[in-house]
Amino acid sequence: MSRLVLVLGDQLSPDLSALCAADKSTDVVVMAEVHGEARTPAHHPQKIALIFAAMRKFATKLEAEGWRVLYAKLGDPANAHSITGELLRRAEETGATSVLATTPGDHRLMRMLDELPLPVSRRPDTRFISTQKEFEEWADGRKELRMEFFYRLMRRKTGILMDGDKPVGGKWNFDHDNRKPAVPDLFRPKPPRFKPDRITREVLDMVGAAFPDHFGTLDGFSWPTTAAEAEAAADHFFTHRLASFGDYQDAMLADDPFLYHSLLSPALNIGLLDPLALCQRAEAEYRAGRAPINAVEGFIRQILGWREYVRRLYMMEGPGYVTRNALAHTRALPALYWGAKTHMSCLSETVRQTRDTAYSHHIQRLMITGNFALLAGVDPAHVHDWYLAVYADAFEWVEAPNTIGMSQFADGGIIASKPYVSSANYIAKMSDYCDGCHYSAQAKTGAKACPFNLLYWHFIDRHEARFKSNRRMGNVLATWRRMEPVRKETILAEADAFLAKLDAGEVV
Ligand code: FAD
Ligand code: DLZ
Ligand code: SF4
């Protein structure tokens, strides 16, 4: 009796557990482009195009390897427009009586599969370096689940950047060396662009026509859509950009949004690259003397540390995680996140770049869009929906811990030991956004006062009671308490006036 083998849009890996467990001669692979996924939430058109183009090419590859693949294109008249609808349709069509699946990356789809009126055999997703058991044993009984300690466990487990039982370079973490601002440099190597081939062009046309209302442009689409292209992108990064990755990891430049970042997350998250192989390659660059330890450790920590940690935490915390709101924030997401005009140059640049490329790097996500939403008290569920929709690499298992936990402190401090909030100082130091901004990063009050300066103290004032026992917030709270009462009143009144304008939809 044949089974249906489900391959989702972010499961495009030859070693997918469901494929490994299936039998080519009897089982049938099911893949489907569906509105149910593309509109949950309304994803950036580049992200939809990336997934559909990569799915079509992966399906062709599976067929060439002898698999029978039933592939539904978005425009097929019989398309059931949901993953479960497609499985039921294909079961009827083929007479298959059960489904073999690799556990999906979000709780929503797991539940949908659990509710399918067909037996579903779910295999663990083995495309990670850690296991869920390993994480949960590590987490068991710990008061705090800090990434840094799980990362060390992963270093020891894999032997990556280890000399015997000691970390290479004598330290586990070189983050302190990774805070240099950048200056414009015309000769900085640019990430490679992958010119759309015939299949990608067909998908781009279709996506443009099917989702005209989604935020984001398709022009300039150049994401890798096959494993071979993704390997070429990785190769370019390791050869030309890894060595400076560490120094400029936190820097932001309006006209050079990618700097030395790898841009590998979309390909990695849909399964075109293997995380362990990327870490091993980075280590090889260090061992060969081609990249310094601060760059290589910094890069490896993001994948072996953060990526593994957030995956495991998301799975452990369960479906309720995305609804957490520890700071009880309720403001609606301001229209400027969808491109409405703003005088704040850091936000308008980051949102513009997001619209044009479906990408921004970590510090833009954390310290510009995330920081502003947190300071302004935006409902974390709205912030979560935005991040999940607008980035090509966004899948709930990785996006939600970063947004709900790291960025919005909405999990009450599971991931971050203190909220990632900052005034304009940090943005002025790490970027060139403030040059020529309508506001002044130095002005703390008055018409030109940077909104980040006003909202920073507004946030501290609102949450003083909550953070009074947090040692890492001690200095900030003490500064606020010591400030002249008149000055405090001015800051709070100006911040309130700013928020009122924001809520009224005025240009701020
Ligand atoms: P690089 O800077 O080159 O880093 C190398 C790789 O490390 C990335 O490709 C990525 O796979 C991994 N990585 C780096 N930081 C993290 C992290 N914090 N968590 C997990 N993996 C990490 N990353 C996603 O992949 N998907 C998301 O939906 C996502 N949402 C985010 C939301 C917020 C609010 C924040 C603050 C961060 C989010 N990140 C997310 C993490 C990070 O911003 C992106 O992984 C990174 O910007 C991807 O660009 P890159 O490939 O050039 O990364
Ligand atoms: C993100 C996404 C989109 C936009 N479209 C599809 C699709 O049409 N078909 C599909 O199989 N997968 C798609 N995906 C990826 C799924 O949403 C993803 O598998 C789940 O969110 C779990 O990570
Ligand atoms: Fe952003 Fe303030 Fe700098 Fe303007 S002055 S770019 S709003 S941090």
- Cα 434 to Cα 138, 347, 425, 429: the distances in Å are 43, 11, 10, 9
266 and 359 in one domain?
A: no
58 C-alpha vs ligand 2 centroid, how far in Å? 14
> Residue range 361-369: average pLDDT?
98
pLDDT given at position 186: 85
Q: Is residue 476 part of a domain?
A: yes
Torsion of CA 467, 470, 472, 476, to 10 degrees: 30
- Kindly report the CATH number assigned to the domain that includes residue 289: 1.25.40.80
- CATH number for position 372: 1.10.579.10
Count of structural domains, the chain: 3
Q: Distance from the CA of 429 to the center of ligand 2, in angstroms?
A: 38
- My answer on whether 107 and 146 are in the same domain is no
| Residue 176, pLDDT score | 86
Same domain, residue pair 78 and 137:
no
Residue 304 is predicted with a pLDDT of 98
**% of the chain exceeding 90 in pLDDT:** 97
Q: What is the CATH number of the domain that holds 86?
A: 3.40.50.620
Residue nearest to atom 15 of ligand 1 (CA): 302
| pLDDT at res. 436 | 87
Ligand 3 atom at minimal distance to the Cα of residue 345: 6
Residue position matching structure tokens 């004598």: 170
pLDDT in tens, 13-36: 999 999 999 999 999 999 999 999
449 and 419 together in one domain: yes
What is the DSSP code (8-state) at residue 121? E
Pocket test for ligand 2, best of 10, 34, 62, 214 (most atoms within 8 A of CB): 10
Instruction: Decide which of 123, 143, 169 is a domain's last residue.
Output: 123
162 lies in some domain: yes
Q: Is the CB of 424 under 6 A from ligand 3?
A: yes
The best mutation among 151, 360, 393, 397 to test binding of ligand 1, ranked by most ligand atoms within 8 Å of the C-beta, falls on: 393
pLDDT confidence tier of residue 175, bands split at 50, 70 and 90: confident
Question: What's the CA-to-centroid distance between 32 and ligand 2, angstroms?
Answer: 9
Nearest ligand, CA of residue 361?
A: 1
Band of residue 319 on the pLDDT scale cut at 50, 70, 90: very high
423-441 per-position pLDDT tens digit:
999 999 999 999 989 999 9
From 90, 123, 156, the end of a domain falls on: 123
The model's pLDDT over 83-116, given as tens digits with 9 standing for 90+, comes to 999 999 999 999 999 999 999 999 999 999 999 9
Neighbours of 180 (CB within 10 A): 14
Query: Within a domain: residue 213?
Result: no
Do both 465 and 373 map to the same domain? yes
Domain's final residue, options 123, 150, 170: 123
Ligand 3: atom nearest CA of 424 is 8
Among the ranges given (129-138, 175-184, 355-364, 485-494), the one the predictor scored with the smallest mean pLDDT: 175-184
Which pLDDT belongs to residue 378? 98
Strand partners, 167: 162
Q: What ligand 2 atom has the least distance to the C-alpha of 35?
A: 8
Tell me: do 265 and 361 sit in the same domain: no
Residue owning the nearest CA to atom 50 of ligand 1: 263
Residues 312 and 343 in one domain: no
- Residue of 154, 265, 406, 411 with the most ligand 1 atoms within 8 Å of its CB, for mutation: 265
Locate the ligand 2 atom nearest the alpha carbon of residue 32 and give its number. 9
Do residue 45 and residue 89 come from a single domain?
A: yes
Pocket of ligand 1 (CB under 6 A): 261-265, 268-269, 299, 302-303, 306-307, 310, 361-362, 365-366, 370, 387, 391, 393-394, 398-399, 402-403, 406-407
Residues 138, 119 within the same domain: no
The answer as to whether 138 is a domain residue is yes
> Which residues does residue 68 pair with via DSSP β-bridges, in sequence order?
28
pLDDT digits (tens, 9 = 90+) for 59-90: 999 999 999 999 999 999 999 999 999 999 99
Q: Which residue in this structure is represented by tokens 């070693």?
A: 15
Two tokens, residue 318: 């369960």
Residues paired with 456 in a beta bridge? none
* The pLDDT value given to residue 71: 98
The arithmetic mean of pLDDT across residues 346-352, rounded, is: 98
Q: Is residue 226 part of a domain?
A: no
Q: What is the pLDDT of residues 43-56, one digit of tens each?
A: 999 999 999 999 99
Nearest to 355 by CA among 380, 336, 375, 331: 336
Q: How far, CA to CA in Å, does 210 sit from each of 57, 83, 213, 309?
A: 20, 18, 9, 36
- Among all ligands shown, which has an atom nearest to the Cα of 422? 3
Whether residue 232 lies inside any domain: the answer is no
Domain of 347, in residue numbers: 335-503
pLDDT band with cut points at 50, 70 and 90 for residue 183:
confident
Does residue 327 lie within any of the structural domains?
A: no
CA of 160 to the centre of ligand 1 (A): 20
Does 100 reside within a domain?
A: yes
Together in a domain, 309 and 373? no
Tell whether 449 and 497 lie within a shared domain. Answer: yes
Sequence-ordered list of residues with C-beta below 8 angstroms from that of 51, at least 6 positions apart, any chain: 9, 10, 270
What is the atom index within ligand 1 of the atom nearest the CA of 268? Answer: 11
Tell me which residue has its CA closest to atom 36 in ligand 1. 366
- Mutation pick for ligand 3 pocket among 450, 456, 507, 508 (CB with most ligand atoms within 8 Å): 450
Phi, psi of 238 (to 5 degrees): -65, -35
Per this entry, what is the length of the chain? Answer: 508
250-266: average pLDDT: 95
Task: Measure the CA–CA gap between 364 and 257, rounded to whole angstroms.
Answer: 9
Same domain, yes or no, for 386 and 419? yes
